[in-house]
């Protein structure tokens, strides 16, 4: 007896279940990550202003260094998901191991650069003489944990590709708790000061990496996948990551230009900008969770040689991104009066932030579509297009943003430029997904 084809409503329900099951745990893991820095700040802040300032500089350097290598998670998710869709779990795990070996190599290279140059890197931030020694100490110790941080990125990509976002959530929660306990014990119990905070974070990061490696190694042994480093596989992982690295660097350049322009407008404007940017980053976590689900789901459909399933999943995720963006926009609009007093009592900062927050609220539906389509194309392994699209976006954004001090508009205009940037991204991504050229089926792209 032939089974009746699934109705459109049933297909949507299936996609909804998949998206929710992957996106909700992914959101929890994403939110847990910045809590590491918040916990360190809360603990070190009681040591003194100079120590907290040093932590701020060192953390900014570390976050920048690690965010550059986020492609380890993105590229690995897409590659592993394709092989899962093709029904070849041993090859999927083998692909994941190549990403993990690449993470270890990159981590070792970063350590080799950061350890001898730490004082110079700290000086680039214009750090005061009192804060610089603390920043250098924290940076040098924390740099030892970078290989673990990169392994966590790659292993997270492996599990996402295997359609598992719950394990990364549990590991992130465990790491956050361990980090807090270790920091308190080493900073105050062992009286190590800011060095204790750095060592606590390093130990927590290696603990997280160890848990991930146990999970991946067990999977490799269960499916007979090799754990040995493979030069060709590592090289292929690196090549897949290069376009995503270009994309990430272009995005970082956009954020740096926006902050630099805001800083040139005055203290009140840059303070307001930092508040808004922190909110924008939090909203991005919610939207990025859907994008992560997109990476895993799209990669699996394409690996299973199901282009129609990939198209349907893409359409449904765009609807999700648009709906979540609308909800977030409404929440930002309604919470503006209550949100700003949490960060400042300065009326000048509030006056600068309020109209800019309206722009941020109105832009959230656009952001929702952008994040989803970005995730879809990452899941399809369409990295080169993403790189060129982001370079084009940077080329459009930079001159507009740099003209703001001349044309006026203050901080509100900075966020109008940011919305223009997201609109350009949406158009470039929409053109690509509409063309269907991203749909390349098979275990590899």
Whether the per-residue pLDDT at 3 is higher than 80: the answer is no
97, pLDDT greater than 60? yes
pLDDT at 172 > cutoff 60: yes
- 3-state SS of the chain is CCCCCCCHHHHHHHHHHHHHHHHHHHHHHHHHHHHHHHHHHHHHCCCCHHHHHHHHHHHHHHHHHHHHCCHHHHHHHHHHHHHHHCCCHHHHHHHHHHHHHHHHHHHHHHHHHHHHHHHHHHHHCCCCCCCHHHHHHHHHHHHCCHHHHHHHHHHHHHHHHCCCCHHHHHHHHHHHHHHHHHHHHHHHHCCCCHHHHHHHHHHHHHHHHHHHHHHHHHHHHHHCCCCCCCHHHHHHHHHHHHHHHHHHHHHHHHHHHHHHHHHHHCHHHHHHHHHHHHHHHHHHHHHHHHHHHHHHHHHHHHHCCCHHHHHHHHHHHHHHHHHHHHHHHHHHHHHHHHHHHHCCCCHHHHHHHHHHHHHHHHHHHHHHHHHHHHHHHHHCCCHHHHHHHHHHHHHHHHHHHHCHHHHCCHHHHHHHHHHHHHHHHHHHHHHHHHHCCCCCCCCCC
What confidence score (pLDDT) does residue 1 get?
Answer: 41
Q: What is the mean pLDDT of the chain?
A: 91
**Does the structure show a pLDDT above 90 at 272?**
no
The model's confidence at residue 7, banded by pLDDT at 50, 70 and 90, is: confident
What's residue 344's pLDDT?
Answer: 72
Q: With 60 as the cut, is the pLDDT of residue 238 above it? A: yes
Q: Which residue has the higher pLDDT, 4 or 416?
A: 416
At 311 the pLDDT is: 95
Between 221 and 267, name the one with better pLDDT.
Answer: 221
**pLDDT over 90 at 181, yes or no:** yes
Instruction: Mean pLDDT check: name the lowest of 333-342, 348-357, 370-379.
Output: 333-342
Q: Is residue 35 over pLDDT 60?
A: yes
- Return the pLDDT at 339: 77
pLDDT number for residue 56: 81
Question: pTM for this one?
Answer: 0.90
pLDDT on residue 49: 82
Tens of pLDDT, residues 18-34? 999 999 899 888 877 66
- Mean pLDDT (whole number) for 238-262: 91
Average pLDDT for 149-172: 94
pLDDT at 120: 94
Could you report the per-residue pLDDT of 288-337, keeping only the tens digit for each?
A: 999 999 999 999 999 999 999 999 999 999 999 999 999 999 999 998 88
Average confidence (pLDDT) over 159-164 = 95
At 6 the pLDDT is 64
Task: Provide the pLDDT confidence category of residue 5 given band limits of 50, 70 and 90.
Answer: low
pLDDT surpasses 60 at 14: yes
């Amino acid at each position: 007896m032939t089974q009746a084809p699934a109705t459109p409503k049933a297909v949507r329900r299936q996609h909804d279940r998949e998206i929710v099951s992957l996106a909700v745990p992914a959101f929890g893991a994403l939110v847990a990550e910045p809590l590491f820095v918040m916990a360190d700040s809360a603990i070190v802040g009681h040591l003194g202003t100079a120590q907290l300032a040093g932590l701020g500089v060192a953390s900014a350097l570390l976050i920048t260094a690690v965010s550059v290598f986020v492609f380890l998670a993105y590229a690995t998710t897409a590659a592993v998901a394709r092989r899962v869709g093709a029904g070849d779990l041993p090859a999927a795990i083998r692909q994941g191991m190549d990403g993990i070996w690449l993470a270890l190599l990159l981590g070792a290279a970063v350590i080799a650069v950061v350890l001898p140059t730490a004082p110079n890197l700290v000086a680039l931030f214009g750090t005061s003489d009192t804060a610089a020694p603390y920043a250098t100490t924290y940076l040098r110790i924390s740099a030892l944990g970078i290989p673990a941080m990169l392994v966590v990125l790659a292993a997270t990509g492996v599990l996402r590709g295997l359609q598992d976002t719950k394990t990364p959530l549990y590991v992130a929660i465990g790491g956050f708790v361990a980090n807090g306990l270790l920091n308190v014990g080493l900073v105050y119990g062992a009286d190590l000061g800011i060095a204790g905070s750095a060592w606590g974070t390093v130990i927590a990061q290696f603990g997280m990496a160890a848990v991930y490696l146990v999970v991946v190694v067990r999977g490799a042994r269960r499916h007979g996948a090799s754990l040995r480093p493979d030069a060709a596989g590592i090289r292929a992982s690196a090549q897949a990551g290069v376009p995503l690295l270009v994309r990430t660097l272009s995005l970082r350049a956009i954020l740096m230009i926006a902050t630099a322009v805001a800083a040139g407008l005055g203290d009140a404007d840059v303070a307001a900008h930092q508040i808004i940017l922190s909110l924008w980053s939090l909203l991005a976590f919610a939207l990025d969770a859907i994008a992560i689900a997109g990476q895993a789901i799209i990669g699996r459909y394409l690996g299973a040689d199901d282009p129609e399933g990939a198209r349907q999943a893409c359409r449904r995720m765009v609807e999700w991104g648009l709906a979540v963006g609308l909800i977030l926009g409404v929440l930002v609009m309604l919470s503006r009066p209550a949100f700003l007093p949490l960060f400042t009592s300065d009326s000048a900062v509030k006056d600068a932030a309020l109209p800019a927050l309206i722009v941020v609220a109105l832009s959230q539906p656009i952001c929702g579509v952008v994040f989803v389509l970005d995730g879809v194309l990452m899941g399809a392994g369409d990295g080169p297009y993403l790189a060129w699209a982001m370079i084009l976006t940077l080329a459009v954004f930079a001159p507009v943003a740099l003209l703001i001090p001349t044309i006026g508009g203050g901080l509100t205009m900075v966020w109008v430029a940011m919305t223009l940037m997201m609109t350009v991204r949406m158009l470039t991504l929409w053109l690509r997904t509409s063309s269907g050229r991203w749909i390349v089926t098979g275990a590899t792209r």
